[in-house]
Structure 1
Amino acid sequence: MADIVKETDDFVLNLFKENLPNTFLYHNYTHTKRVYKSINEIIEGSQIDVKDAKVLRLAALLHDTGYIQTREGHEEESVKIATKFLKNKEIDKETIEAVNKCIMATKFKDTPKSNLEEIIRDADSSHFGKDYFKEASEFLRQEYKQQGIHDYTPVQWRDENIKVLVEKHQFYSEYALKNWQKQKEDNLASLIKDKKKDKKRRRKETMKAELKAKYKDASPERGIQTFYRTALRNHIKLSDIADTKANILLSVNAIIISLVLSNLLSKLDSNPFLIVPSAVFVVSSTITMILAVIATRPNVTRGEFTKEDVKKKRVNLTFFGNFHRMELSQYQWAIEELLKDRDYVYSSLTKDLYFLGKVLDRKYRILRWTYTIFVLGIIVSILAFGISFAATEQSVQEVGNTIVN
């Protein structure tokens, strides 16, 4: 018996090696040896005669050979392969028929009709009652995916396993019920526990998303905060732009005045016609600089407030000019009072926006006049220089004519 079992084992190994596609991640030689090991476990723990043990071992090795031909109806193909192989090995007809019945008993939907069929069925599904159940089950899921049969998500596959363990699978043999049923129940309990955890997590995430959406839609709080944040940012940017423009004018006109004073001042005695255009140039540049300084000149208020001002909401605590002379403790108290009242917070932000807008209005109005005076000063200065040069040239020609005559 040992020889035919060994020959069958070698035959199945070579058959799978040469003909079984790589996509069979579960139904392969490893699975066959796992079933064979489970058969031996039942045989050693039960009272089974030698002839039946031989049948069970051969059926365990040959039961999935039909997968080299087809997935659907592989049991029938396995019977054909087993019959041909065992006949070639001159195995008696009775043994071959017994092996074939055991192979057909591995059909999951059929009910075993004999003790041997119950044993082979239990061995074929023994992974349900083993501690490697999840690992073996994952190989089967990946096999389905690789072969395009069904792409189960991990959650769907877990639910499918729970359904199989609860509704479809059962152990039949006395040995399996005594030794594997407990582990099967533990595996089922683990799956159910994981499902509950996942369900609880998803329910928590759903509730969190619903609450977030609810408060986002039902409350204008987020929109109000966005409005104030955007408005304040824009005001500050515009203020920075105004200061930058004023600094540019200050720098340019300072350079202009330096050049005029260093180059033209020494020539005014010998070229009196340059006095007027130079004066216009210098005066316009000076006025431009003065206006640029005024535009950027800070305006700091008294920096004090009273408790009465805070209680009556008359002070804007978001602007430093209203509290820079106060003690820290007084300012902390005022802020605490402010934060207690939502309307006071928004009122303070509104005031801050309003007065920032007033400051911007003042800056940009002064800058507009500054740029206007700067441009007009350049134009008038150039015209004055041109008129002076023309008048001087005409005077020189008249003097020359007089001398000639």
Structure 2
Amino acid sequence: MDHLRAETYVLNLLRQQLPASLLYHGLHHTLDVVEQSASLAAAEGITNPDDLTLLRTAALYHDSGFLTTYKGHEAASCELVCRVLPGMAYSPSQVELICRMIMATQLPQAPDHLHLAQILCDADLDYLGRPDFWSTSQTLFEEWQARDMVPDEQDWYQIQVKFLGAHHYWTRTAIARRETEKQARLAEVKVRLEQLSGNG
């Protein structure tokens, strides 16, 4: 695997071609997922160098589909992976595994029992249980508003209550690190929703 070439290739693409309106799904999000997936992998006992490289590659490419489409970007990310990585000495089975990890992040997440996919899924939504939840979720709200995907804050908070209530982390590490704070954020979102609804 020429993983450094693969990394340079996708980072250049994301820097140069991602729409500026991707306030949440920008390059900063991809780099955050790369960082969190490495941290989770270390804590989860992943030591095989190939596994770590494949996880890093999947993290780098997981939102590359936003270069061409918003809806169904995971499948578009896999199309790029299948087109580019074989020429960078990734084997068919490695390309397939990377695509499985990427497709697992599609909501609702479905990593099944694939440990690397569970790690990537948890890294992708790590912010749900972090101190920067509010500032990060605000960028997603603005990104959706720019695409007429959510009419106002009240609808947004209703979506957030449903999403946070249904979401669960997959790895023991993410549950230990983020679940308690995520539940606190859910409670805060419910309070804000009540206030907007005129019941607070």
**Structure 2 match to 1:256:** none
Pairs within 5 Å for 1:253-272: none
Q: Give the TM-score normalised by structure 2.
A: 0.90
CA separation of 1:84/1:192 partners in 2, compared to 1, >3 Å: closer, same or farther?
same
Distance (whole Å) between structure 1 residues aligned to residue 72 and residue 178 of structure 2: 28
Kindly state the Cα deviation for residue 198 of structure 1 after the two structures are TM-superposed: 4.7
**Structure 2 match to 1:133:** 133
Distance (whole Å) between structure 2 residues aligned to residue 165 and residue 145 of structure 1: 19
Instruction: State how many pairs are aligned.
Output: 198
Kindly state the Cα deviation for residue 20 of structure 1 after the two structures are TM-superposed: 1.8
Q: Segments of 4+ in structure 1 off by > 6 A? A: none
CA separation of 1:197/1:76 partners in 2, compared to 1, >3 Å: closer, same or farther?
closer
CA separation of 1:196/1:150 partners in 2, compared to 1, >3 Å: closer, same or farther?
closer
Q: Which residue type is aligned with residue 62 of structure 1?
A: Y
- Does the 8 Å CA contact 1:8/1:61 hold for their aligned counterparts? no
**Structure 1 match to 2:73:** 74
2:148 counterpart SS class: coil
CA separation of 1:193/1:67 partners in 2, compared to 1, >3 Å: closer, same or farther?
same
Q: Percent identity?
A: 27
Q: Greater relative contact order (Cα 8 A, min sep 6): structure 1 or 2?
A: 2
Deviation per residue, 1:180-206 (Å, 9 max, x gap):
11121121122223334555xx348xx
Pairs within 5 Å for 1:4-403: 4=3, 6-48=4-46, 49-113=48-112, 114-151=114-151, 153-167=152-166, 169-198=167-196, 202-203=198-199
- Does the 8 Å CA contact 2:6/2:88 hold for their aligned counterparts? no
1:180 counterpart SS class: helix
Q: Give the TM-score normalised by structure 1.
A: 0.46
Deviation per residue, 1:339-379 (Å, 9 max, x gap):
xxxxxxxxxxxxxxxxxxxxxxxxxxxxxxxxxxxxxxxxx
Runs of 5+ consecutive residues of structure 1 not aligned to the other structure: 205-405
Deviation per residue, 1:311-358 (Å, 9 max, x gap):
xxxxxxxxxxxxxxxxxxxxxxxxxxxxxxxxxxxxxxxxxxxxxxxx
Distance (whole Å) between structure 2 residues aligned to residue 102 and residue 172 of structure 1: 13
**Structure 2 match to 1:379:** none
- Does the 8 Å CA contact 2:5/2:88 hold for their aligned counterparts? no
Runs of 5+ consecutive residues of structure 2 not aligned to the other structure: none
Q: Which residue type is aligned with residue 20 of structure 1?
A: L
**Structure 2 match to 1:230:** none
Deviation per residue, 1:204-259 (Å, 9 max, x gap):
8xxxxxxxxxxxxxxxxxxxxxxxxxxxxxxxxxxxxxxxxxxxxxxxxxxxxxxx
Cα RMSD between the aligned structures?
1.9
Distance (whole Å) between structure 1 residues aligned to residue 199 and residue 120 of structure 2: 42
Kindly state the Cα deviation for residue 110 of structure 1 after the two structures are TM-superposed: 4.6
- Does the 8 Å CA contact 1:55/1:95 hold for their aligned counterparts? yes
**Structure 2 match to 1:392:** none
Distance (whole Å) between structure 2 residues aligned to residue 30 and residue 148 of structure 1: 23
* Larger helix fraction of residues: 1
Kindly state the Cα deviation for residue 88 of structure 1 after the two structures are TM-superposed: 1.7
- Does the 8 Å CA contact 1:12/1:29 hold for their aligned counterparts? no
Which structure: larger Rg?
1
